[in-house]
Amino acid sequence: MESIMRKNLPVTGHNIELSSSTNILSTTTPDSHITYVNPDFLKISGFAEEELIGQPHNMVRHPDMPPAAFAHMWSTLKSGRSWMGLVKNRCKNGDHYWVSAFAMPIIKNGKVVEYQSVRTKPEPSHVQAAEKAYAQLRNGKNILPKIRLGFHWKLILLVWGSLFASIAIVSLIYPSALMSILFLTLLVGSITTLGITYLLVPMKRLIQSYCKDSDNPLSQVLYTGRSDEFGQLEFALRMAQAETSAVIGRIGDASNQLNKFANDLLHNIEKSNILTSEQQAETEQVATAINEMAASIQEVATGAKHAANSSESANHETISGQQIVSQASQSITELEHEVSQAKQVIHELEEHSNDISKVLEVIRSIADQTNLLALNAAIEAARAGESGRGFAVVADEVRGLAARTQQSTMDIQRMIDTLQGRAKLAVAVMEHSSQQALLSVEQAQQAADALTGIGKRVSDITGMSVQMATAVDQQSAVSDEINHSISNIRMAADTNVDNGKINAKCAEGVAGLSHNLSELAQQFWERNK
């Protein structure tokens, strides 16, 4: 708590005198933790803002300040009233500065939400009185009079003292008239006392009404040098003046901040206008690019549709090719089967040729034997002479027939040999044709498989082309939406530029008003110092 004394050391004893324009302002939470300090506070104290915010306000208290002064201040503030007094504060480097402090609670909905303190340069005579009084308080001495006579009683005592002094003087001159003079003096004194009391009633009411929130005997004596009603009234007037100065100081500080914010706002608006103009230009370029992209997308969509159609046609042709290859493969398979049958027939023909060769061999053997028998018969006929001449003729005929048979057999053998050679060649050709047919069937099957794969790929390409065409159509629609959005953005940017110009004028107006408010607050500040 702020009321607990805190020893801030070291101290240098060097006094920093404030300028007449100094306006030290700070605010704290209800438990006295700093929430705001103005530039004058930072300048005179030597602390950085981050060193003060959130810290207890007594971190700037000087150890020469008596606890009684702050005890009265906190009891006054917690009662919801303002407090004014002379305070000695410590700088960060140990130097000190005197201020005339005015502290007041900020109340919302009947509850204190913060405390505000405004400090200005005090009069030198007030500082001297405070140094002397605070030294006595630190030594345990009471600087306030034990009996405080008001102006009313001082005036009555003055009247009665004057009357009794007059009685003493007159009694020396007229001793015989002492009783009459004494009676007259008592009468005049009583009437005067009643008159003074009656005349001072309005002043007492004024003091009671005006000074009820400024009950601070110590500060009253330090500021006015009086402890009576006039001291109360003067101190109350000083507090009212200080409160006005505090309000004006707070307004001036707020106007300075407002001026800074207005200038920052104006700068940001100008910067925003520049960026918005650049954005507007970029948006125009983007809109142009999107239009070109939309045209390109449309061309791509058309090409994708053509590609899809071509892929579909290629797919149909591939299917037709598959059917043709399948038919060719079937035909080649049938051909290979027929070639195999022909090869079998030729093998059978070769076997029959071999059988014929065997028969011819038998016929040749018979012809040879017949020829031999005919020769023997001719020899026997020659031996027989004339009786065997007919038999010789027959033998010659038989020998000729055998020779012709032998010659025919040889011709047939040559023909069979030729036929067998041709049959073997036909068999070899048929074998090769069969192998070629099998290879053709395999290749046809591979071609069919390849065409099937091609058909699948073409089908996939067709599907992808359709999907691409659909996606391109969607992109075209999206690009149209983007183009529409860009147009809206461009219109919004145009509106923002116009609003930015209006805001810039408003910011200039706010800056001008805050400047005028700052000057007005400064004028009131100078008048109320």
Express each pLDDT in 112-146 by its tens digit: 999 999 999 999 999 999 999 999 888 888 766 55
Longest dimension (CA), the chain: 255
Band (pLDDT 50/70/90 cuts) for residue 25 is very high
Is residue 193 within 8 Å of 58, Cβ to Cβ?
A: no
The bridge status of strand 96-108 relative to strand 111-120 is antiparallel
Q: In what order do the strands lie in the sheet with 34-37?
A: 34-37, 24-28, 111-120, 96-108, 83-90
Instruction: State the pLDDT at residue 14.
Output: 95
- Side chain identity at residue 373, one-letter code: L
pTM for the model stands at 0.53
Q: Looking up tokens 């058909």, which residue turns up?
A: 455
Question: Is residue 488 classed exposed, middle or buried when 0-12, 13-18 and 19+ CB atoms within 10 A define those classes?
Answer: exposed
Nearest one of 115, 123, 126 to 25, comparing CA atoms:
115
Burial 251-266 (b: 16+ CB within 10 A, else e): bbbbbbebbeebbebb
Give the residue, 174 or 11, on which the prediction is more confident: 11
In angstroms, rounded to a whole number, what is the distance separating the alpha carbons of residues 175 and 170? 8
Tell me the pLDDT tens digit for each residue of 503-513.
677 667 666 65
In angstroms, rounded to a whole number, what is the distance separating the alpha carbons of residues 477 and 298? 10
Give the residue, 110 or 156, on which the prediction is more confident: 110
Q: Looking at the chain, how many residues does it have? A: 529
Instruction: State the pLDDT at residue 322.
Output: 66
Tell me the pLDDT tens digit for each residue of 204-233.
676 666 566 677 888 888 898 887 777 778
Question: Is residue 4 classed exposed, middle or buried when 0-12, 13-18 and 19+ CB atoms within 10 A define those classes?
Answer: exposed
Q: What HEC string does 159-191 produce?
A: HHHHHHHHHHHHHHHCHHHHHHHHHHHHHHHHH
The phi, psi pair for 439, rounded to 5°, reads: -60, -40
In angstroms, rounded to a whole number, what is the distance separating the alpha carbons of residues 281 and 16? 58
Instruction: State the pLDDT at residue 3.
Output: 42
Structure tokens belonging to residue 315? 């797919």
Task: Say if residue 341's pLDDT is above 50.
Answer: yes
Structure tokens belonging to residue 134? 């605070």
Looking at residue 88, the DSSP 8-state letter turns out to be E
Instruction: State the pLDDT at residue 315.
Output: 66
Mean pLDDT value of segment 12-36: 93
Indicate left, alpha or beta for 232 from its phi (over 0: left) and psi (-120 to 50: alpha): alpha
Is residue 354 within 8 Å of 420, Cβ to Cβ?
A: yes
Give the residue, 4 or 325, on which the prediction is more confident: 325
Band (pLDDT 50/70/90 cuts) for residue 100 is very high
Is residue 476 within 8 Å of 294, Cβ to Cβ?
A: yes
Strand partners, 86: 100
Q: How far is CA 199 from the centre of its chain?
A: 76
- Side chain identity at residue 473, one-letter code: D
Structure tokens belonging to residue 177? 């008239």
Nearest one of 347, 307, 332, 524 to 438, comparing CA atoms:
332
Q: How far is CA 401 from the centre of its chain?
A: 124
Tell me the pLDDT tens digit for each residue of 243-286.
887 778 778 777 777 777 777 777 777 777 787 777 767 777 77
Stretch among 22-26, 47-51, 371-375, 510-514 having the lowest mean pLDDT:
510-514
- The alpha carbon dihedral of 428, 433, 434, 435 has a sign of positive
Instruction: State the pLDDT at residue 291.
Output: 72
Task: Say if residue 30's pLDDT is above 70.
Answer: yes
**Which domains are assigned to the chain?**
1-122 (3.30.450.20), 266-519 (1.10.287.950)
Burial 403-441 (b: 16+ CB within 10 A, else e): eebbeebeebbeebeebbeebeebbeebeebbeebeebb
Burial 12-46 (b: 16+ CB within 10 A, else e): eeeeeebeeebbbbbbbeeebebebbbebbeebbe
Strand partners, 120: 100
Mean pLDDT value of segment 317-330: 70
Q: Looking up tokens 């060649």, which residue turns up?
A: 425
